[in-house]
Amino acid sequence: MKVVVNLKAYPCDPVGVATAAREVADETGADIAVAPQAAHLDRVADTGVETWAQHVSAVEHGSHTGSTLAEAAADAGATGTLLNHSERRLKLADIDAALDAAERAGLDTCVCANNPDQIGAVAALGPDAVAVEPPELIGTGTPVSKADPDVVTDAVAAAEAVDDSVSVYCGAGISTGEDLTSARELGAEGVLLASGVAKADDPKAALADLVAPL
Amino acid sequence: MKVVVNLKAYPCDPVGVATAAREVADETGADIAVAPQAAHLDRVADTGVETWAQHVSAVEHGSHTGSTLAEAAADAGATGTLLNHSERRLKLADIDAALDAAERAGLDTCVCANNPDQIGAVAALGPDAVAVEPPELIGTGTPVSKADPDVVTDAVAAAEAVDDSVSVYCGAGISTGEDLTSARELGAEGVLLASGVAKADDPKAALADLVAPL
Amino acid sequence: MKVVVNLKAYPCDPVGVATAAREVADETGADIAVAPQAAHLDRVADTGVETWAQHVSAVEHGSHTGSTLAEAAADAGATGTLLNHSERRLKLADIDAALDAAERAGLDTCVCANNPDQIGAVAALGPDAVAVEPPELIGTGTPVSKADPDVVTDAVAAAEAVDDSVSVYCGAGISTGEDLTSARELGAEGVLLASGVAKADDPKAALADLVAPL
Amino acid sequence: MKVVVNLKAYPCDPVGVATAAREVADETGADIAVAPQAAHLDRVADTGVETWAQHVSAVEHGSHTGSTLAEAAADAGATGTLLNHSERRLKLADIDAALDAAERAGLDTCVCANNPDQIGAVAALGPDAVAVEPPELIGTGTPVSKADPDVVTDAVAAAEAVDDSVSVYCGAGISTGEDLTSARELGAEGVLLASGVAKADDPKAALADLVAPL
């Protein structure tokens, strides 16, 4: 199971969470990545943890002031990126072009979507992974695997029907090891999580608990 | 073959083009729709031609000032709508929600996309039709069926792989009967066209020539 | 006092509200405009009421599928338009270009903004009027003139400091004659209202009550 | 004169340009800042040059995946930010909120705009500086101070009429010391430049030539 910890724009200590994640990954063999703000990629990558961008722009090198250039994210140490998170929804054509940008820069990709139909849609664009996150559950602490398990199994089926080489992750409300196990049983190969770790008093303990059942 | 004449924001006479389209449809049995500005839907529908919106918003009834409500378009006589035209690209989640809106309002739907990958993506959202229009050919007078026939056949294959009940149209540069025939031979079940008719000195003659080979 | 009734995407009968507004305007001499969906402009204008668009696009005639062309709104009977409503916020450059578009099409303009600073900003672009509408009060039934009267007086001062030929309207929560009088006493020369009339059981009575103190 | 070197998404060496800028600033006393990609802020700031973000988002700490949080930019060493560059135009309300965000994070601000009217508008929002950059001149090598000097003097007048504490910079086509002197003579207190330095074979020589007349 892949575990991607999205730090969003939280008032957390990105290096502290990243160090905790790297330690848990080292100690347990769990596959954990941390996705900080672009401005924090450098220092997060310096901890040795697998580092992801939260977003890259649908652009190549050129006159694109204020963009998040995939190559710059890679320079700063990112090896993967989220795309189309529900807090940063993209135009369809821009998801397609951002996937091209990520591929040029050597970044792994996980495209988020709200429901199984949209998961089928983004799977058709050839990402490495897709993540189903019902927007109404994000930040609630109620895991999608419990609140609406059919969303996960339907998303897995939708992606498989389009391209069975695309991994399916799930997100929204994931915070415990039990949530992770449930997600795996429903067919997910990874999870996105955020506040459950980023806002924890002890991020290392939170992550260790999370991956304990793996 | 479905023929959708997109009037964009052209300085044309929408009622004149609509009347011409209705006459050609009546005289030849061709399946022709005209897509005017939202503010012109009423008067275009009054000509008796099949009338489409160029876009509807991803909203339900409510506090959405400045939206294009699908129900209002339907009230004004529209029976179909384009979505995600390259001049009005939408977020993926909004294509999905606009399709829901169109369905609630009883509108047929045709979702545009730039390339076969994106055609596969939008086909997964369950529209009635999809239209492949390489942006670089729009308005050039060079038909996609001649400039890049593989785009059409690949789009047909991409849609079919995802959902074989979705019709595939093609657009960009279509203006003659030969273009229409080529498109049909490549597997398209319809065409989008715009300037070739909307800006013609004699729209009726242009449309009659276009559909003559059908 | 100018009274602009914004029908948003409400499930109301636009012709019924428009007819009521025209009758109240005729009977009282009040200056009332109705702003329906673009697709309803034609039939609303046919009632004889002053008709406004809810939005026009920052474009000229051309290849702009899915835009709301100012000239098309004018064709359909609009004589004014709102711009930058909080439900349809625009890029600064697009407010500027949409004002140009409206002027070309002969439409009066009222640019909305959230607070006095933004009112000063939009006044610098030369619209006919600006409207201050604190987003947190829209649809609450609590009039801005009561909840936060300083917002109105500060907006009037901000606009005057930049260009004293620009009228200042206020909106958000306006529904009674008392609200209208309060707004006028605070320096507003018009009001925007929406649900108070559009969703009233008897829109004519609601409007008649509203303008009674004028 | 302030000199802001915008590295956009150019395929340049951000640390090389930053080092050159710091050396020229040290040697000449010129006031030079470098604005790299967010992911490069850390390493650019490490050179000791004054470092600016190209953009910050209109958000506070919270659930804003893919945003450019002002506080994160400041953490990484930024002390200022551009906003509303013509390649990253913002909604008016978002310029206002991004200025608040920059102020909270202690960043200096320069809001770009296309023409004198828009300069007046953004000056009303209380930034530290505004920059007029006619989009049609960006990247042309033809300086705005030569192609259209009235744009600069009109922008200075427009800003002063609204708030005379706001500095006015100019951009678009600036590359030589003569351009800088002309801009100053027209009333500008700073310049934005990009390709003239970022794409120069010898960025240090280009910058030294630029600031020589100061």
Its pTM stands at 0.96
Q: Is D54 on the interface with A (CB under 8 A)?
A: yes
Q: Is D2 on the interface with A (CB under 8 A)?
A: no
Whether residue B79 is predicted with pLDDT greater than 90 in this model: the reply is yes
Q: Which of A89, A92, A99 to mutate to test the interface with B (most CBs of B within 10 A)?
A: A92
How many of the other CB atoms lie within 10 Å of CB of A185?
A: 12
pLDDT tens string, chain A, 214 residues long: the values are: 999 999 999 999 999 999 999 999 999 999 999 999 999 999 999 999 999 999 999 999 999 999 999 999 999 999 999 999 999 999 999 999 999 999 999 999 999 999 999 999 999 999 999 999 988 777 777 887 788 889 999 999 999 999 999 999 998 788 889 889 999 999 999 999 998 899 999 999 999 999 998 8
Whether residue C147 is predicted with pLDDT greater than 90 in this model: the reply is no
Q: Is C123 on the interface with D (CB under 8 A)?
A: yes
Among residues 152-181 of chain C, which lie with CB inside 8 Å of chain D? 158, 161-162
Residue-wise pLDDT for D132-151, tens only, equals 998 877 777 788 778 888 99
Whether residue D84 is predicted with pLDDT greater than 80 in this model: the reply is yes
Q: How far apart are CA D61 and CA A59, in angstroms?
A: 27
Query: What is the three-state SS of chain A?
Result: CEEEEECCECCCCHHHHHHHHHHHHHHHCCEEEEECCHHHHHHHHCCCCEEEECCCCCCCCECCCCCCCHHHHHHCCCCEEEECCCCCCCEHHHHHHHHHHHHHCCCEEEEEECCHHHHHHHHCCCCCEEEECCHHHCCCCCCHHHHCHHHHHHHHHHHHHHCCCCEEEECCCCCCHHHHHHHHHCCCCEEEECHHHHCCCCHHHHHHHHHCCC
* Cβ-based contacts of C9 with chain B (< 8 Å): 57, 59-65, 67, 69, 72
Q: Name the β-bridge partners of C69.
A: none
Chain A residue with the nearest C-alpha to that of B123:
A121
Query: What is the three-state SS of chain C?
Result: CEEEEECCECCCCHHHHHHHHHHHHHHHCCEEEEECCHHHHHHHHCCCCEEEECCCCCCCCECCCCCCCHHHHHHCCCCEEEECCCCCCCEHHHHHHHHHHHHHCCCEEEEEECCHHHHHHHHCCCCCEEEECCHHHCCCCCCHHHHCHHHHHHHHHHHHHHCCCCEEEECCCCCCHHHHHHHHHCCCCEEEECHHHHCCCCHHHHHHHHHCCC
Residue-wise pLDDT for B42-51, tens only, equals 999 999 999 9
Whether residue D17 is predicted with pLDDT greater than 80 in this model: the reply is yes
Encoded tokens for D63: 């659930």
Residue-wise pLDDT for D89-116, tens only, equals 999 999 999 999 999 999 999 999 999 9
Q: Which of D8, D34, D65 to mutate to test the interface with A (most CBs of A within 10 A)?
A: D65
Residue C109 Cα to chain centre, angstroms: 9
Annotated catalytic residue within A40, A50, A55, A133: A133
Residue-wise pLDDT for C160-207, tens only, equals 999 999 999 998 788 889 889 999 999 999 999 998 899 999 999 999
Q: How far apart are CA B178 and CA B181, in angstroms?
A: 5
- A101 near A56, Cβ under 8 Å? yes
Which residue in the set C89, C113, C125 is minimally distant from D117, CB to CB?
C125
Give the percent of chain C with pLDDT over 70: 100
- C34 near C50, Cβ under 8 Å? yes
Q: Which chains touch A (3 or more CB pairs under 8 A)?
A: B, D
Which residue in the set A55, A63, A66 is minimally distant from D65, CB to CB?
A55
* Cβ-based contacts of D121 with chain C (< 8 Å): 92, 96, 121-122, 124-125
CA–CA min distance D214, chain A (Å): 27
* Cβ-based contacts of C62 with chain B (< 8 Å): 8-10
Q: DSSP character for B188?
A: -
- In the predicted model, what is the mean pLDDT of residues C98-121? 97
Give the DSSP per-residue string, B114-150.
SSHHHHHHHHTT--SEEEE--GGGTTSS--HHHH-HH
Of the candidates A10, A148, A7, A173, the residue with the CA atom closest to the CA atom of residue A78: A7
Please, what is the average pLDDT of chain D?
Answer: 94
Mention every residue, 6+ apart, whose C-beta is less than 8 A from residue D131: D82, D110, D111, D112, D113, D168, D169, D170, D171, D190, D192
